[in-house]
Amino acid sequence: MPETTSGALIATSSLSAGYGTQPVVRDLDIEVRPGEVVALLGPNGAGKSTTLRVLAGDLAPMSGEVRWLGEPSRAPLHRRAREGLAYVGERAVFTRLDTADNLRVGRVEAARALELFPELEKRLGTGAGMLSGGEQQMLSLARALCREPRLLLADELSLGLAPLVVERLLRAVREAADRGLGALLVEQHVRKVLDIADRVYVLRRGRVVMTGTPQELRGNLDAIESSYLADGRS
Ligand SMILES: Nc1ncnc2c1ncn2[C@@H]1O[C@H](COP(=O)(O)OP(=O)(O)OP(=O)(O)O)[C@@H](O)[C@H]1O
Protein backbone atom coordinates (compact mmCIF):
# COMPACT_ATOMS: atom_id res chain seq x y z
CA MET A 1 0.00 0.00 0.00
CA PRO A 2 1.53 3.37 -0.95
CA GLU A 3 2.07 5.60 2.04
CA THR A 4 3.98 8.77 2.83
CA THR A 5 7.48 8.58 4.24
CA SER A 6 5.89 9.16 7.65
CA GLY A 7 3.60 6.19 6.99
CA ALA A 8 0.49 8.38 6.75
CA LEU A 9 -2.40 7.61 4.42
CA ILE A 10 -3.28 11.27 4.39
CA ALA A 11 -1.40 14.24 5.80
CA THR A 12 -1.62 18.01 5.59
CA SER A 13 1.06 20.62 5.94
CA SER A 14 0.28 24.26 6.71
CA LEU A 15 -3.15 23.70 5.23
CA SER A 16 -5.61 26.59 5.05
CA ALA A 17 -9.07 26.31 3.58
CA GLY A 18 -12.42 28.03 3.60
CA TYR A 19 -15.10 29.63 1.51
CA GLY A 20 -14.74 32.80 -0.56
CA THR A 21 -11.58 34.62 0.43
CA GLN A 22 -11.50 33.90 4.16
CA PRO A 23 -9.88 30.71 5.45
CA VAL A 24 -11.87 29.02 8.21
CA VAL A 25 -9.09 26.53 9.00
CA ARG A 26 -5.46 27.64 9.14
CA ASP A 27 -2.01 26.08 9.34
CA LEU A 28 -3.29 22.57 9.86
CA ASP A 29 -0.72 19.81 10.21
CA ILE A 30 -2.65 16.63 10.72
CA GLU A 31 -2.23 13.06 9.57
CA VAL A 32 -3.90 9.67 9.70
CA ARG A 33 -1.93 6.43 9.49
CA PRO A 34 -3.15 2.91 8.70
CA GLY A 35 -4.66 1.14 11.68
CA GLU A 36 -5.35 4.23 13.73
CA VAL A 37 -8.55 5.97 14.76
CA VAL A 38 -8.06 9.71 15.05
CA ALA A 39 -10.72 11.95 16.60
CA LEU A 40 -11.21 15.50 15.40
CA LEU A 41 -12.97 17.43 18.15
CA GLY A 42 -14.01 21.01 18.68
CA PRO A 43 -16.99 23.33 19.12
CA ASN A 44 -19.55 24.25 16.47
CA GLY A 45 -18.01 26.32 13.74
CA ALA A 46 -14.43 25.33 14.65
CA GLY A 47 -13.86 24.03 11.12
CA LYS A 48 -14.12 20.25 11.58
CA SER A 49 -16.40 19.61 8.60
CA THR A 50 -14.34 21.98 6.47
CA THR A 51 -11.22 19.99 7.35
CA LEU A 52 -12.86 16.71 6.37
CA ARG A 53 -14.07 18.21 3.09
CA VAL A 54 -10.55 19.30 2.13
CA LEU A 55 -9.12 15.90 3.06
CA ALA A 56 -11.83 14.22 1.03
CA GLY A 57 -11.06 16.34 -2.04
CA ASP A 58 -14.47 18.00 -1.88
CA LEU A 59 -13.01 21.47 -1.21
CA ALA A 60 -9.73 22.85 -2.58
CA PRO A 61 -7.06 24.11 -0.18
CA MET A 62 -6.39 27.86 -0.18
CA SER A 63 -2.77 27.24 0.73
CA GLY A 64 -0.64 24.43 2.05
CA GLU A 65 -0.78 20.86 0.94
CA VAL A 66 -2.71 17.61 1.26
CA ARG A 67 -0.65 14.46 0.72
CA TRP A 68 -2.80 11.47 -0.14
CA LEU A 69 -1.11 8.06 -0.38
CA GLY A 70 2.28 9.68 -0.32
CA GLU A 71 1.79 12.28 -3.05
CA PRO A 72 0.67 15.90 -2.98
CA SER A 73 -2.90 15.70 -4.24
CA ARG A 74 -5.63 17.97 -5.49
CA ALA A 75 -7.66 15.02 -6.75
CA PRO A 76 -11.42 15.39 -6.39
CA LEU A 77 -13.48 13.19 -4.08
CA HIS A 78 -14.56 10.70 -6.78
CA ARG A 79 -10.91 9.97 -7.64
CA ARG A 80 -9.84 9.63 -4.04
CA ALA A 81 -12.86 7.39 -3.51
CA ARG A 82 -11.63 5.08 -6.27
CA GLU A 83 -8.26 4.99 -4.53
CA GLY A 84 -9.71 3.89 -1.21
CA LEU A 85 -11.09 6.94 0.54
CA ALA A 86 -14.54 6.66 2.10
CA TYR A 87 -16.36 9.79 3.23
CA VAL A 88 -19.46 9.41 5.37
CA GLY A 89 -21.51 12.49 6.09
CA GLU A 90 -24.71 12.82 8.03
CA ARG A 91 -27.32 10.16 7.11
CA ALA A 92 -25.70 9.26 3.80
CA VAL A 93 -28.47 6.96 2.54
CA PHE A 94 -30.89 7.04 -0.38
CA THR A 95 -34.15 7.43 1.49
CA ARG A 96 -36.33 6.37 -1.46
CA LEU A 97 -34.51 3.05 -1.88
CA ASP A 98 -34.83 0.13 0.49
CA THR A 99 -31.90 -1.08 2.57
CA ALA A 100 -30.98 -3.88 0.15
CA ASP A 101 -30.99 -1.48 -2.80
CA ASN A 102 -28.89 1.02 -0.87
CA LEU A 103 -26.30 -1.73 -0.48
CA ARG A 104 -26.60 -2.76 -4.14
CA VAL A 105 -26.14 0.83 -5.33
CA GLY A 106 -23.10 1.05 -3.07
CA ARG A 107 -21.81 -2.16 -4.68
CA VAL A 108 -21.80 -3.94 -1.35
CA GLU A 109 -22.95 -7.54 -0.87
CA ALA A 110 -25.80 -7.70 1.62
CA ALA A 111 -24.20 -10.73 3.30
CA ARG A 112 -21.05 -8.75 4.08
CA ALA A 113 -23.02 -5.80 5.43
CA LEU A 114 -25.00 -8.16 7.65
CA GLU A 115 -21.80 -9.63 9.07
CA LEU A 116 -20.96 -6.12 10.21
CA PHE A 117 -24.45 -5.12 11.33
CA PRO A 118 -26.76 -8.17 11.73
CA GLU A 119 -29.36 -5.69 13.03
CA LEU A 120 -30.04 -4.71 9.40
CA GLU A 121 -31.25 -8.17 8.33
CA LYS A 122 -34.88 -7.60 9.25
CA ARG A 123 -34.73 -4.18 7.56
CA LEU A 124 -33.46 -5.25 4.11
CA GLY A 125 -36.86 -4.65 2.49
CA THR A 126 -37.57 -1.42 4.36
CA GLY A 127 -37.22 1.98 2.71
CA ALA A 128 -34.10 3.64 4.09
CA GLY A 129 -36.19 6.71 4.90
CA MET A 130 -38.20 4.56 7.35
CA LEU A 131 -35.14 3.30 9.25
CA SER A 132 -34.25 4.72 12.64
CA GLY A 133 -31.36 7.18 12.75
CA GLY A 134 -29.11 4.45 14.14
CA GLU A 135 -30.08 1.98 11.42
CA GLN A 136 -29.46 4.62 8.75
CA GLN A 137 -25.98 5.20 10.09
CA MET A 138 -25.31 1.45 10.28
CA LEU A 139 -26.32 1.31 6.62
CA SER A 140 -24.06 4.25 5.65
CA LEU A 141 -21.18 2.79 7.61
CA ALA A 142 -21.73 -0.69 6.16
CA ARG A 143 -21.67 0.80 2.66
CA ALA A 144 -18.41 2.55 3.44
CA LEU A 145 -16.61 -0.20 5.37
CA CYS A 146 -17.62 -3.20 3.27
CA ARG A 147 -15.75 -1.76 0.30
CA GLU A 148 -12.62 -2.04 2.44
CA PRO A 149 -11.39 1.52 2.14
CA ARG A 150 -7.92 2.51 3.28
CA LEU A 151 -9.20 5.68 4.92
CA LEU A 152 -12.57 6.54 6.45
CA LEU A 153 -13.53 10.18 7.02
CA ALA A 154 -16.73 10.35 9.04
CA ASP A 155 -18.58 13.52 9.96
CA GLU A 156 -20.81 13.20 13.03
CA LEU A 157 -21.65 9.53 12.56
CA SER A 158 -23.48 9.50 15.84
CA LEU A 159 -25.35 12.80 15.74
CA GLY A 160 -28.56 12.50 17.72
CA LEU A 161 -28.23 8.76 18.36
CA ALA A 162 -28.73 6.79 21.57
CA PRO A 163 -25.55 5.98 23.53
CA LEU A 164 -25.70 2.24 22.84
CA VAL A 165 -25.98 2.84 19.10
CA VAL A 166 -23.09 5.30 19.23
CA GLU A 167 -20.95 2.66 20.91
CA ARG A 168 -22.01 0.10 18.32
CA LEU A 169 -20.97 2.34 15.40
CA LEU A 170 -17.70 3.36 17.01
CA ARG A 171 -16.88 -0.27 17.80
CA ALA A 172 -17.34 -1.17 14.14
CA VAL A 173 -14.88 1.56 13.17
CA ARG A 174 -12.40 0.41 15.85
CA GLU A 175 -12.57 -3.19 14.59
CA ALA A 176 -11.98 -2.06 11.00
CA ALA A 177 -9.00 -0.02 12.18
CA ASP A 178 -7.65 -3.08 13.97
CA ARG A 179 -7.64 -4.72 10.52
CA GLY A 180 -5.70 -1.79 8.98
CA LEU A 181 -8.18 0.99 8.20
CA GLY A 182 -7.18 4.57 9.04
CA ALA A 183 -10.11 6.63 10.35
CA LEU A 184 -10.66 10.29 11.10
CA LEU A 185 -13.85 10.87 13.07
CA VAL A 186 -15.55 14.16 13.79
CA GLU A 187 -17.56 13.45 16.94
CA GLN A 188 -19.58 15.34 19.52
CA HIS A 189 -19.53 12.32 21.86
CA VAL A 190 -16.14 13.22 23.27
CA ARG A 191 -15.86 10.57 25.95
CA LYS A 192 -17.13 7.74 23.77
CA VAL A 193 -14.80 8.52 20.89
CA LEU A 194 -11.84 8.83 23.26
CA ASP A 195 -12.58 5.25 24.36
CA ILE A 196 -11.72 3.98 20.88
CA ALA A 197 -9.33 6.64 19.49
CA ASP A 198 -5.56 6.35 19.26
CA ARG A 199 -4.99 10.08 18.82
CA VAL A 200 -6.96 13.30 19.03
CA TYR A 201 -6.82 16.76 17.49
CA VAL A 202 -8.86 19.54 19.08
CA LEU A 203 -9.77 22.39 16.75
CA ARG A 204 -10.85 25.81 17.89
CA ARG A 205 -11.45 28.77 15.60
CA GLY A 206 -9.86 26.91 12.71
CA ARG A 207 -6.62 25.94 14.43
CA VAL A 208 -5.38 22.85 16.23
CA VAL A 209 -5.19 23.90 19.88
CA MET A 210 -4.55 20.50 21.46
CA THR A 211 -3.27 17.16 20.24
CA GLY A 212 -2.26 13.92 21.90
CA THR A 213 -3.43 10.49 22.89
CA PRO A 214 -6.72 10.09 24.77
CA GLN A 215 -4.66 9.29 27.90
CA GLU A 216 -2.80 12.58 27.53
CA LEU A 217 -6.02 14.54 27.01
CA ARG A 218 -8.12 12.94 29.75
CA GLY A 219 -7.11 15.63 32.22
CA ASN A 220 -8.44 18.26 29.81
CA LEU A 221 -11.76 16.57 29.13
CA ASP A 222 -13.78 19.12 31.05
CA ALA A 223 -12.07 21.98 29.19
CA ILE A 224 -12.70 20.28 25.83
CA GLU A 225 -16.33 19.61 26.62
CA SER A 226 -16.99 23.08 28.00
CA SER A 227 -15.42 24.62 24.89
CA TYR A 228 -18.25 22.89 23.00
CA LEU A 229 -20.69 25.12 24.81
CA ALA A 230 -18.80 28.25 23.73
CA ASP A 231 -19.05 29.75 20.27
CA GLY A 232 -16.01 28.43 18.42
CA ARG A 233 -15.94 31.39 16.07
CA SER A 234 -15.87 34.23 18.58
N1 LIG B 1 -20.46 26.10 2.41
C2 LIG B 1 -20.08 27.11 3.22
N3 LIG B 1 -20.03 28.38 2.78
C4 LIG B 1 -19.63 29.39 3.59
N5 LIG B 1 -19.27 29.23 4.87
C6 LIG B 1 -19.31 27.98 5.38
C7 LIG B 1 -19.72 26.85 4.59
N8 LIG B 1 -19.63 25.74 5.35
C9 LIG B 1 -19.21 26.14 6.56
N10 LIG B 1 -19.00 27.47 6.57
C11 LIG B 1 -18.50 28.27 7.71
O12 LIG B 1 -17.21 27.80 8.05
C13 LIG B 1 -17.04 27.80 9.46
C14 LIG B 1 -16.63 26.41 9.91
O15 LIG B 1 -17.70 25.51 9.66
P16 LIG B 1 -17.57 23.94 9.79
O17 LIG B 1 -18.88 23.34 9.39
O18 LIG B 1 -16.35 23.48 9.13
O19 LIG B 1 -17.37 23.80 11.37
P20 LIG B 1 -17.62 22.56 12.30
O21 LIG B 1 -16.52 22.57 13.29
O22 LIG B 1 -17.80 21.32 11.49
O23 LIG B 1 -18.95 22.95 13.03
P24 LIG B 1 -20.35 22.17 13.17
O25 LIG B 1 -20.12 21.21 14.28
O26 LIG B 1 -21.28 23.26 13.51
O27 LIG B 1 -20.62 21.54 11.83
C28 LIG B 1 -18.34 28.28 10.06
O29 LIG B 1 -18.22 29.65 10.33
C30 LIG B 1 -19.34 28.05 8.96
O31 LIG B 1 -20.40 28.99 9.02
Task: Quote the mean pLDDT of the chain.
Answer: 91
Decide whether any atom of ligand 1 lies within 6 Å of the 50 Cβ.
yes
Q: Give SS3 for 103.
A: helix
| ipTM over cut 0.90 | yes
Decide whether any atom of ligand 1 lies within 6 Å of the 42 Cβ.
yes
pTM for this one? 0.92
Ligand 1 atom 8 nearest Cα: 50
Q: How far apart are CA 214 and CA 32, in angstroms?
A: 15
Q: How high is the pLDDT of residue 232? A: 43
**pLDDT < 50 stretches in the chain:** 1-5, 231-234
Q: How high is the pLDDT of residue 90? A: 72
- Type of residue at 137: Q
Atom of ligand 1 nearest to the CA of 155: 22
Decide whether any atom of ligand 1 lies within 6 Å of the 180 Cβ.
no
Q: Cα Rg for the chain, rounded, in angstroms?
A: 17
List pLDDT tens digits, range 147-176: 999 999 999 998 889 999 999 999 999 999
- Domain boundaries of the chain, sorted by first residue: 10-229
Atom of ligand 1 nearest to the CA of 50: 18
List pLDDT tens digits, range 171-202: 999 999 999 999 999 998 888 999 999 999 99
Q: Write down the architecture of domain 10-229 according to CATH.
A: 3-Layer(aba) Sandwich (3.40)
Decide whether any atom of ligand 1 lies within 6 Å of the 49 Cβ.
yes
